[in-house]
Amino acid sequence: MTRSLWDALCGIEDRRGKKGRQYKLPSLLGIAVAAMLAGANDLIAIFRWGRRLKPEALRLLGIDDGVAPCHSTLHYFFQSLDADALSAALGKFALGDDRARHIAIEGKTLKGSRRLDAKPLHVLSAFASELSAVIGDLMVEPDQNEITAAMALLKSLPLD
């Protein structure tokens, strides 16, 4: 059975403490996804997009008081978000009821991810060509071989 994107977002575990849960996780992710689809490409743009929503639209996203989250709320939310769980949920949503037949594996070093003396982040992605969607990704450790990481990524995917 094909789920909606909202159902996929609701299936992600919220790792925030009780004090940090003024907004529900699916509501914040829904605003972020919709803002990015509308062209927002950073946190400030997501914040501004959410602030322009009418109270009725915010209620549809599960924000009952009709007040959009502020910039700092979004900042702390994304800091605490389990990116692997989000990636897995979106990959399952993109895959739907289908099985991936042809998968391309690609590794990329993320521009601007180098911090001080640390190596930059390197991500390995599995792209289902007939779906035109990334269905899984994995962070490659600096001392890890990309080929062994690709095997681990393939084992985590629902393949025939």
Q: 94-133 burial by CB neighbour count: b if 16+ within 10 A, else e?
A: bbeeeebeebebebeeeeeeeeeeeeebbbbbbbbeebeb
Q: Regarding predicted confidence, which is higher, 96 or 135?
A: 135
Structural element, H or E, at residue 6: helix 5-10
Question: What is the identity of the amino acid at 112?
Answer: G
Q: Is the pLDDT of residue 123 over 90?
A: no
Q: What is the pLDDT of residues 36-87, one digit of tens each?
A: 999 999 999 999 999 999 999 999 999 988 889 999 989 988 888 888 888 8
Q: Regarding predicted confidence, which is higher, 20 or 90?
A: 90
Give the relative orientation of helices 25-37 and 71-80 as an angle to the nearest 10 degrees.
110
pLDDT-above-70 percentage for the chain: 93
pLDDT of res. 160? 63
Sign, CA dihedral 4-6-9-14, equals: negative
Question: What is the CB neighbour count within 10 angstroms for residue 154?
Answer: 14
Instruction: Read off the pLDDT band of 100 (50, 70, 90).
Output: low
pTM: 0.74
Whole-angstrom Cα distance, residue 69 to residue 148?
41
Is the distance from CB of 15 to CB of 80 less than 8 angstroms?
A: yes
pLDDT of res. 16? 79
Q: Is the pLDDT of residue 155 over 60?
A: yes
Is the distance from CB of 45 to CB of 35 less than 8 angstroms?
A: yes
